[in-house]
Structure formats: C-alpha cells, structure tokens
Chains A and B, each alone.
Chain A
Amino acid sequence: METRAAAIAITGGAGGIGSSLVRRLRTSGRRAVSLDLRPCPEATESYQLDISEESAVAMAFQRLDALAGLVCIAGTNMRGRVEELPWEDWRRVMAVNARGAMLAIKHASPRLEEGGSIVLVSSVSAHIGTDGYTAYHASKGAVLGLMRAASGEFAPRSIRVNAVSPGWVDTPFTDRALDETPDGEAVRAQAADAHILGRMAYPGEIAEAIAFLLSDEASFITGTELIADGGYLRKR
C-alpha cells in the first residue's frame, strides 16, 4: 500500500486508536485525513465535525481529493441498564456508531478509488454482553451488518470492506468506561486477565490490523471481521 498516493480518511482520527493509525500511515509516507469532534494535529488534514451529522460529513468529504481508503473509528458509549437508559441515549449511541459509519461510507463513496479499502471498527462487544451496555453492543452488531452489506455493494468497484474487532485497548475510551464503572479499578486490574495474552492491546496493534486490511496485501479479503483481541473471545 506504500506505493499509493491517495489519502486515507479516518473518522475518530484524534482518538487513541485513530491517532495511532494516523502516525502509522504517515510514517509510511501516506496522507491521513482525520474527521473527528476534536482536532488531530498529526493528520495531513483535520476536520472537526460530528460524524452523525450528515451535512457536516458531506461538506468535509466534498473538500477531499481521491481516497485510497476510509477507516471508521469514531465511536461513543452510554452506560445504563435497559430499564434505566433513556431512549435519547440509545439513539445517540446508534447515531454515532452506526449511522456515523454509514454516512462516512456514503459520502466517501464518490471519492474512493477503484481497488480501495474500507475498514470499520467494530468490537468483540458485538459477540458478548456487559452489564449496562446494550446500546453499545447493539451498535457494534450494526457495524458488522453494515460492513457485510457494503462488501457486496462496493465489490463491483473492487473496493474491499472489512471490520476490525478489538478486545480491550489501552486508550482514553477504556479509561472513561472504567471511570464510570462502580468498581472500575478492580475491573482494570482484571482486564489483562480477560485476554489469553494476559494484557490489553496497545492502540498501535489495532492500527496494524487496520493498516493490513487497508493494504494490497489483503487484496482477497472482503466482507470479513478481523478479531484482534488477544484471545479475549476464547478466554473462559
């Protein structure tokens, strides 16, 4: 992939996984465009927007040149059991995690070059449950479904569509979730144990998995989920 000139657009480029990917791509000479609520100083271009708002997403992609790839990382989370979680919070999680990815694909589509690659970040959360996070789990399932359907839609243009599903990643996302968990520190202490590799992922390891799916090395991989979870789903 190091030979292509076109840029990679990254939603959530300012976050833990996103900024790691931006650095990874820039190190190998690629242009990386960030679309995030927050600025991403390391990116070639950085757009500040809410990925769930179509007009903002449309405007940002209109200003971009050809894209070799799109990576949808922007994500959010709301805690509360089904009985307590307000409908607005449920819809917000769905809007950012699922609609946001859909909008990014929709508006990146005219910019994407033939032979390009789309990578969505789902999570092992699509396959498990954790108390108080049904909206997040459902949204990550939606991301997988979107990936599967889009792999069919984009195949005629030789654009591959895949997902990367991490277990726990050591980023601010995890810090925030643990902060609002009553026994957060105890959970953090056990987080390493939840993976057969005995630790959380470094954000750079998730960036590597994404970079692989973006690259031509993955030229026959589409419609699939790459679970990069240190064995989380196999641990009992």
Chain B
Amino acid sequence: MRGSGELAVAAITGAAGGIGRDVARAFANAGYNTALLDRNLPCLPEATQGISTAVDLTRPGEVAAAFDRIGCEFGKLDALVNLAGINHCSPVSRMDADDWDRMMDTNVGSMFLTAKHGIPLLERSVGPAIVNMASVSGHVASPDYPAYVATKAAVESFTIALSQEVGPRGIRVNAVAPGWVNAGFTDHAKSESEDPARLDEAARDAHLLGRMAEPSEVAAAVLWLCSSGASFVTGQTLFVDGGFMRKH
C-alpha cells in the first residue's frame, strides 16, 4: 500500500473496539507499524510491529504523552485514524449536561487532541492522512440519541475544517460514515436487547444491500483513504453504508 521499503506508521484510536480491532489488523496486513490507543489496552495483531497504549483520549495530558511515545518510537506518523467513540441514549428534554459533555469530549474532542499532537508527526511523512469516524447517524432524526447525532455531525464539520487547515501542509483529512456495523456498538445493543434477532432484522431493512457492514469493510475504506490511491481526496466523508442514506 505504502511506498516499498518505507516504514509506515499508523496511529489508531479505539483500537480495542469492535471496528478498531479489524482496522488495526488491516493496517498491519498492509505493512504499517501500528500505534494502538484505547482506554482499554488494545492487543497488537499477531506477528506485527507496533506499540499499544492505554489512554483516556479526553485527557489532554494523557494524549500528549501517548503521542510523545509514538514520536520517540517511530519519529513520524503516516496515518492517524480516529475511531474511539461512545454512545448515550437520552432525548434532549432529559439530557444530563455531563453526559452531553462526555459525548462531545469523547467523540469529537478526542479528535481535536489527537490532531493537536499528531500533526507535528504527520508533517514528517510523505503523503500523510487523517481519517475520522463519522456515521450516517449524523444525518438522521434519531430522537433517542441526540448527543450521538450531534457529535457525528460535528465530526464531519471538524473533518472539513481540519482538511482546510492542514491541506497546505500536504495532510489529507477525511471521514468514513458507516451505517450499522456488525461489531462493537451493534454487539453492545444486541447484548442489551431482549430480542437481538429483531435488531438483525432492522439492520437488514435499513440498508439497500439488505445487511449490515462487516467491520473489515469499514477497515478497507479507512485503509484506502490513507493510501496513495486516495492522494487527491480530502475534506470528504466516504459513506460505507450499504445504501443506508438512500433507503426509504
């Protein structure tokens, strides 16, 4: 994927998560050294080079330290992939302000902090890229999840703004927006549901392709956006949603 013989380095947040594990695996398979970040210590994919750090990405000091470590270890960064995220169920009329802040800090603020400390390392790469995790949820009237919808819409706007800010320095910034993914959040929802089979059914109905995404399909899109094949793509949101946005 990267130039031959070159040491490529990818930092991946949320790497202990359902999607994150597959993204880490995809980058490792493509020859990247990976720096995996998550509040739960992520496992490095077998037989791969890299480092793994337990970090709360909403704490500026911890993020700074984690990127210091990446700088010491690798001296640069070629890809920064922001996947860490949480969800919170509450309508606006009952929203707890602290829950709202936690959502904003985790789903968007963490991307600001990793960019803050990652950009100096990305500037040392040839063809550096950032990919942020958005979601189709940023676009829908989802009454029970306003904080999630707001954070994911914010991710797209942040992605555009950052692409403008760092574009002149050769850093590309894009987002991926999945529909439902057969991992992580969906697994959490199934484990809390009395009727998980109904969720599968709903997921089938929600996409033109009649199924959810596998995490590897999201990983492939993230990897491509970081590759030289995407060298003229920036400021975009790539919907990897099986037609969720077009289904009515």
Contact = CB atoms under 8 A, between A and B. Distances in A.
A105 B150 CA distance: 14
Interface string B39-60: 0000000000000000000001
Contact of A137 (B91, B146, B147, B161): B161
Contacts of A141: 138, 153-158
B244 interface: no
Interface string B148-184: 1111111111101111111000000000000000000
24 contacts: A83-B119, A87-B113, A91-B101, A94-B108, A102-B100, A102-B147, A109-B92, A125-B157, A125-B161, A134-B112, A134-B158, A139-B154, A141-B154, A141-B156, A141-B158, A142-B104, A142-B150, A142-B154, A145-B149, A149-B145, A150-B143, A150-B146, A153-B92, A153-B146
A148 interface: yes
A29 interface: no
A149 B142 contact: yes
Interface string A82-101: 11010100110011001100
Interface residues of A, number: 48
Nearest to A109: B93
Contacts of B161: 125, 128-130, 133-134, 136-138
Please report whether the interface of chain B is mostly helix, strand, loop or mixed according to DSSP. helix
B159 to A, nearest CB: 9
B108 A142 contact: yes
Nearest to A103: B97
A82 B149 contact: no
A129 B92 contact: no
Contacts of A54: 97
B115 to A, nearest CB: 5
A148 B158 contact: no
A126 interface: yes
Contacts, number: 158
A109 B146 CA distance: 15
Given A90-B112, A134-B112, A138-B154, A148 B149 contact: yes
Contacts of A90: 109, 112
B139 A148 contact: yes
Interface in B102-153: 104-105, 108-109, 112-113, 115-116, 119-120, 138-153
Please report whether the interface of chain A is mostly helix, strand, loop or mixed according to DSSP. helix
Interface residues of B, number: 48
In the A-B complex, the 9 residue pairs with the closest CB atoms: A141-B157, A129-B164, A145-B153, A152-B141, A137-B161, A149-B146, A145-B150, A142-B154, A138-B158
Given A94-B104, A149-B92, A83 B158 contact: no
A91 B105 CA distance: 8
B104 A98 contact: yes
Contacts of A133: 161
Nearest to A222: B141
Interface of A: 54, 81-83, 85, 87, 90-91, 94-95, 98-99, 102-103, 105-106, 109-110, 125-146, 148-153, 155, 223
A82 B162 contact: yes
Max chain A CB contacts within 10 Å: which of B105, B115, B142, B150? B150
Contacts of A149: 92, 140-143, 145-146, 148-150
B109 A82 contact: no
A124 to B, nearest CB: 11
A145 B138 contact: yes
A82 B119 contact: yes
Contacts of A103: 97
A138 B93 contact: no
Contacts of B143: 149-150, 152-153, 155
Given A142-B104, A148-B141, A83 B116 contact: yes
